[in-house]
């Protein structure tokens, strides 16, 4: 399936409320991202830390087109694709 702009919009609309979580952990940093499809957009919250003592962070973002496309491709098997071409 080709993820054109209209297909991405339809996927986001059909999967309102879908959530996924990813983790990364290495010697010098660690983070957790919680993704959620909300209001026709992919939003994510990233919490993490680095090796510096005061380096904890908690940020929220709206994914850009590239991030949204990557996310949808990676999670296509978990999403409702009914009615898509």
Contacts of 8 (CB under 8 A, 6+ apart): 65, 68, 69, 72
**What's the pLDDT at 85?**
65
Three-point CA angle 62, 83, 4, nearest 5°: 45
Contact 75, 20 (CB under 8 A): yes
For the segment 39-85, what is each residue's pLDDT rounded down to a tens digit?
Answer: 999 999 999 998 887 889 999 999 999 999 999 999 999 999 998 86
User: What predicted TM-score, i.e. pTM, was given to this entire model?
Assistant: 0.85
Q: Which domains does the chain have, with CATH numbers?
A: 5-78 (2.20.130)
């Amino acid at each position: 399936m080709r993820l054109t702009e209209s297909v991405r919009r339809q996927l986001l609309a059909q999967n309102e409320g879908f959530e996924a979580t990813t983790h990364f952990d290495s010697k010098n940093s660690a983070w957790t991202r919680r993704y959620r499809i909300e209001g026709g957009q992919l939003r994510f919250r990233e919490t993490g830390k680095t090796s510096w003592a005061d380096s904890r962070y908690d940020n929220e973002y709206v994914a850009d087109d590239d991030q949204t496309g990557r996310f949808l491709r990676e999670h296509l098997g978990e999403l409702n694709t009914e009615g898509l071409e």
